[in-house]
Structure formats: C-alpha cells, structure tokens
Chain A
Amino acid sequence: MDNVIHDIKTERSNVSGGLPQAYRIVPVSFYIAAVASLMLSGYFFLSKRAYENREAQMSAMLSDAQNQKNQLLSRQQTVVDESRRSEGFAKWLEGSHALQPVVAAIGRSMGKNSTIAELSLDRNPEIPAHTFMQLKIDGGGSQQIETTLSEIYALDYQTYSAQQVKGRNSTDFQATLIYNDKR
C-alpha cells in the first residue's frame, strides 16, 4: 500500500509524520475514482453521441414520414374534391334523361282511334329525376293507356302514383315517371 501511495512522490526526507492509517483510503479512493471517472465519462460520452445520432436519424425519418403523410392527405383532398365535383355532374345528369324518347314513344303508341289531346311532362324541381306526366287522350280508353304505358316501360321508366280519369270520349292519365337504369 505504501508503494502505491508513494510511487509518484519524489524522494524527500520526511518532514512530518506519516498519514494516519484511516486516511490512507483517501488517495486509494482518488485513484479508483480517477480511473472509474475516465472510463465512465468515456462510456457516457459515447452513449450520448450515439443517442444524438439516433435522434438525428429519427428526426429525419419523422420529417420524411410527415412529408409523405401531408402529400398523401393533399392527394386525398384532391380526390375528395374531384369526387364531389363528379357527384355534382352525376346528380345533374340523373335529372336530365332525355324526354324526347318518352314523347315519341307515347306518340307511337297511339292507335288509329286515339290521339294525344295534351301531353305535359314536368320535372319535379326538388327531385328532377322524377317527371310528372299528364296525358289526355281522345278515344281509345283504358286499352290505349295500357298500350302507352307498355311503351313507356320499354324505355326503362317506372310509373308511380298513377291516376286515371275517364271522360265521355277522353281519358286523363297522370303519373310520376322515374327512370330505372337497368344497365
């Protein structure tokens, strides 16, 4: 122990008494603390640097992921906007089926004793896909109405809330036509 304690002292004559026995632990502790401090400092320093590197990598990864997420959200918004626009077109077109084929079919369905006195097709302003039809036929009666309805059904229309009033020589028929897209 003496050698350990005194090995870094230069040779000199003792001017005071030796260190008391209990105090000898202090220099020994100092050596141990110095070595341990060096080793632990190195270890903690390297750990700190490794954690800082990892943090930098993770920050870059976070930034990439957030950019990617933002791009995807932006594309989602674009698709949503496009879809909303497309739905607007679809909604308009749903209430814009051509009426000429209906008028032509009703005209074609007339038998030799029947004529159209008046035909009115009005779209419901709230639900344009629903068309209110009022038809007044001179002659023909119920049989003519059935023939006319068959022609309308052949165009993929359905009738709803139909009413028929028979006069002396004419028949009034009214119904709501709804296009039924079977394709």
Chain B
Amino acid sequence: MNDHKSACMILVLLIAGMLYGVNQLRNASASARTAADAVQTQAEAAQQQAQLAQIQLKTLESKTSELRRAAELWKPHFARHATPQSAEQRIVEVIREGDVFVISQKFDSRQLDKDAMISEALVADLVVEDDYTKTLNWLGTLEEKIPSCRVSRCNLKRGDRGNDIHLELQLQIPVLKKS
C-alpha cells in the first residue's frame, strides 16, 4: 500500500467517524424530541385533569352548598355539648329554670352508631308531674333551648292531682367530641 492509498484509508476512516458522530447527535436529538413529546403529552393530560377537577369541585360545591350552609347554622348548637356532663348540666339548668316538679331523673351516656357522624348521645330519662299548662310549656322551652335534642319517648297520663299531668320523657342530646 503506497502513501496515497494510506491517505485515502485515513480519509475514509475520518469520513466514517464524522458520519458516526453526526448520527450520534441525530439520535440524541431524536431522543430529546421523544422525551419532550412525552412530557408535553403528560402536561396536557395533567392540565385536562386539573380542569376536570375544577369542574367537579364547582359542581360539588354548588350541589352541597345549601346543606353545608344549614349545617354551619346548626353547628354551634351541636358543638355546645362536647361531653355528656355538659349536656346533663344543660338539662338540669332547663329543669331548674322551668321550675317543674321532677319525680325522677336518670342520665346515661350511650353509644349510638359507631360509623355515624353523631356516635354518642346523652340519654336522659325524666319523670315530671306538674300542672298541665306549665309542664307542656316547659317541654316546649326544653326543645327550644336545646334545639339539637331529640325527644325519643314522650308518655303523658293524668296526674295524681286535679290539673296535673304525669309526663315520662326520654331525651337524647348528641355529644359531639371536638375533632
């Protein structure tokens, strides 16, 4: 092999090297494009999901706004009794203010439905015997002053004296533990 042929071989190798280099760069560019396209697809999908989430949120807010507004109004009444003791105290206060004759009173804390939002309640069993009008007014006042209370049983009979009535009452007051 003479010098010319050697030089040609070297040039051929250089050409091959340059082509290889260009091809590598082309591959790198193609990879970068693929990666950019993939991220763009992901970004567009994420934007669509964000828009969908926004629509869902607005729908949810508008669907539940009335319920949540009503709950906000009632929340202070429920939050007032965080322990069975405070609920019991409240009933005792209403009895004292009403000045009705209580034959017996029994308080008990009871688990309701564990999974329900209101899972515990103070149950009060009261037996009252007093004047008909006074007792009924007191019952109304009780339900008014403790709006979250539930009268679960109300038995009414004639009392022992003239215009008296004998009222057996079972009350439930929800106990909402502070979360």
Contact = CB atoms under 8 A, between A and B. Distances in A.
Nearest to A138: B158
Residues of B in contact with A, size category: 35 or more
A101 to B, nearest CB: 8
Interface in A53-88: 54-55, 58-59, 61-62, 65-66, 68-69, 72-73, 75-76, 79-80, 82-88
A4 interface: no
Given A72-B54, A118-B157, A30 B29 contact: no
A47 B68 contact: no
Contact of B35 (A36, A55, A100): A55
Nearest to A46: B29
Interface in A5-44: 16-20, 23, 26-27, 29-30, 33-34, 36-37, 40-41, 44
Given A54-B40, A62-B39, A100-B140, A48 B25 contact: yes
A43 to B, nearest CB: 8
A29 B10 CA distance: 12
Nearest to A49: B32
The DSSP consensus for interface residues of chain B is: helix
Given A18-B4, A72-B57, 17 more contacts: A33-B18, A44-B29, A48-B29, A51-B35, A59-B43, A62-B46, A69-B46, A79-B61, A84-B117, A89-B74, A89-B75, A95-B150, A100-B139, A100-B140, A118-B157, A120-B154, A123-B153
Interface of A: 16-20, 23, 26-27, 29-30, 33-34, 36-37, 40-41, 44-45, 47-48, 51-52, 54-55, 58-59, 61-62, 65-66, 68-69, 72-73, 75-76, 79-80, 82-93, 95-96, 98-101, 103-104, 107, 115-123, 125, 128
28 contacts: A16-B4, A29-B11, A37-B21, A44-B22, A44-B25, A45-B25, A47-B33, A55-B39, A61-B46, A65-B47, A72-B56, A76-B60, A79-B61, A82-B64, A86-B70, A87-B67, A88-B118, A89-B78, A90-B70, A92-B174, A99-B143, A99-B154, A103-B139, A116-B158, A118-B155, A121-B155, A123-B153, A125-B152
Interface of B: 2-5, 8, 11-12, 14-15, 18-19, 21-22, 25-26, 28-29, 32-33, 35-36, 39-40, 42-43, 46-47, 49-50, 53-54, 56-57, 60-61, 64, 67-68, 70-71, 74-75, 78, 116-118, 132, 136, 139-140, 142-144, 148-158, 174
